[in-house]
Amino acid sequence: MQATISAPVTPLEAFSGRVEPTRVPLYYQFGLGFVALAMVLLPVIYFALIVAVGWVVWWHLQNDIAIFDHVRGRATLLALVAYIAPAVAGGIFILFLIKPLFSRSQKRPPVFKLKKEDEPLLFEFVGRICQLVGAPRPREIRLDTQVNASAGFRRGWLSFFGSDLVLVIGLPLAAGMTMRQLGGVLAHEFGHFAQGAGMRLSYIIRSVNAWFARVVYERDHWDEKLEAWSQSEEWWVKLIFMLAKGGVWVGRKVLWCLMHVGHAISCFMSRQMEFDADSYEAKLAGSEEFARTAERLRLLSVGHAMAMNDAYQTYQSKELPDDLATLVVWREKNLPDKTREEIQKEAATAKTGWSDTHPADPDRVKAALAWRAPGVFQHDAPATELFSNFSATSQEVTRHYFEHILEVPAGKVQFRSATRIVEDRQSADASDKNLELFYGKNFHLLRIRAIEPGNHGAWSQAVAEMEPLAATYGHQLGQLNRHQETLHKQVVGGDLIAAGFSLGTPGDFALLASTKSGAEHCIKSTQREMQQLATVMSTYEDGAARRLAAALDWWRSHHEDETSRGRLDRLLAAQRALVAGVPEMMQASRASRSLQMIFDNSANHHDGYQLEREARAVAQRIEVAANHCVAALGEAAHPYLGGHPPIAQALHLPDQKDNEWAKAFQLANVCTEALIPLLVRVMGDLCGLALEAEQEMRADTSRFTPPAAPAMEPVIEASAPVAA
């Protein structure tokens, strides 16, 4: 009897059964209505505050004019100020409360929309899920680069009373999940819309919360003008605007309280809505699959953070990945086992807080497992198969994200293949391993010597000098790291003091007192200790530099092809140029921390001019240090980029049109995010070549006395263009 071979099940054929609507308790519906009513009352309180202040100002103008009946001469001026100041301050207070009502909302960036004719399978897949869940089909599907999916009203309040929905799918979900898992996530999102009244009430709640956040935190040029007016040299003008500034501060604090009240009121019902939506995910994909999907979301989120860090680093060298989803999935797949264990442990012990809008994962998984749902869709093919050409679509969405969402000028960067960037990251990881093989735990960025050739006979002696000092040097490095962190804190503390801040606890900045002279004394003391320590550490470092130089000389003498020698020459030239700029890199890094702290605490400062003056001085320090660093690069060629342009030309330096603060931060980023990683990569590759040479030296016992071999083999990677 001949066996019958069934055709593979397509995604649309894999749906079986039906999803029973989740019945919500009556108290839940009443609770949701109560929360929505309370949220609507909060703006009423806001408008009542405006009316109350207006009435007080009017009452003052009507009733306090009698103040002029009992004054003469110069006292008239004081009476006039006393009469006008509250009215002007109250008027400004009202203006600042109502201006968010009339200010234009920020222009939204364009979205990436899919056409149904381009992705018929995906649209039908989404339609089947909506049919099972009992939610309206979205009229539009959009894509982005986030590890998330969402469904909402397509045109905001204009779609509030209809079924005009939009679905947004984060492509990393499709790249890193099965169809079953992605289908469950979409079922969760549409589960919110299965309950029509709940969907609309929750929209009211979220809108009110977002509006209060805007009123409390939004700043514009009027805030800057109020700050400037409050610094007037005329005492009476300063008094008026200081009163207005104080009133605005008090008003925003009141609104801040209302905002948090609204958040607290809505949190419980928000969590219940998430449980409700989770039930639809469990019923569609299965309760067991719900737990696996939650795990995938956590891991992909970590991969996304790492991929964005990769993109940030490559941006400093004028390059960006052309496919973020691919990079996210690669990062997730290559997470170290220890990192995975830590993520899982943290998730397993997470607790739901009273102010959380979403339940903790353990609570959600427990609730989903209680449904014991087998799932009506169990197709485990990759979710990428829902797209006609996932790779091409992902590249389009990635470019759209960088150019339209992050507003990266297209002409200033090159999009490189994500596969190539993956190879670069792998090569960089191999470089890190070679550093550890050569130096053990004794590599430190501040203690690198420029490598000069011509030390052929010094190798055995250098190794002999290093080995007995290795353990002691490791302890000394620990001291150096502590001094370095202390110096960072002291410099930041000193800059805050110079900007006019009073440090309540100077010990937090490793200072003894909150005075400029005290900060300078502590900084000089730390620098002296670091210099004394550097003198003691130099013997080991001299040996390490001679060992590396001698091994590289040996490598050169045994590799005659010009390509290999050219690569070594570029690495050495880049190493010498970058080492020359390390002190300036660290200075720019410290100054950028100071500038960020000054900006973070600017709202608590009493003198805007002093604050701006010191901020400008710190920004100038960054610019001087970064410019010296870039100048030290000279014409040294980039050892990894195709064509090997000068390193300085490959850096993403700020434009002339950038303001001084953006310019300062970008220059600091060039040092910390481009040049420092590039130096570490170059040192790792040089160590890889040296380790390769030392292996050959040990085999050539007729010429060298072999020292103890390292415990691991060197990691030798083929040369590939890389963005530092």
Q: What is the DSSP string of 517-562?
A: HHHHHHHHHHHHHHHHHHHHHHHHHHHHHHHHHHHHHHHHHT---H
Q: What is the pLDDT of residue 23?
A: 80
Residue with tokens 């606890």: 505
Angle at 291 between CA 166 and CA 381, to 5 degrees: 65
What's the distance, CA 462 to chain centroid?
43
Q: What is the pLDDT of residue 459?
A: 76
Pick out the chain residues at pLDDT < 50.
1-7, 702-724
377 neighbors 183 (Cβ within 8 angstroms): yes
Pair of tokens at residue 317: 């060298």
The C-alpha torsion from 306 through 397 and 178 to 296, rounded to 10°, is: 30
Best CA proximity match to 317, nearest among 622, 572, 567, 653: 653
Query: What residues have CB less than 8 Å from 42, skipping those under 6 apart?
Result: 208, 212, 258, 261, 262
465 neighbors 539 (Cβ within 8 angstroms): yes
Return phi, psi of residue 317, to 5°.
Answer: -110, 25
Q: What is the pLDDT of residue 104?
A: 59
Alpha helices per DSSP H over 562-607: 562-580, 582-600
Best CA proximity match to 397, nearest among 296, 328, 310: 328
Q: What is the pLDDT of residue 175?
A: 97
The Cα 661–Cα 665 span in angstroms is: 6
The Cα 646–Cα 656 span in angstroms is: 21
Pair of tokens at residue 14: 């894999």
The Cα 63–Cα 512 span in angstroms is: 54
The C-alpha torsion from 169 through 175 and 181 to 184, rounded to 10°, is: 10
DSSP 178: B
Q: What is the pLDDT of residue 712?
A: 40
Q: Which run of H or E residues covers position 299?
A: helix 287-315
What totals of helices (H) and strands (E) does the chain contain, helices first?
Answer: 21, 6
The Cα 6–Cα 16 span in angstroms is: 17
* pTM beyond 0.85: no
- In three-state secondary structure terms, 486 is helix
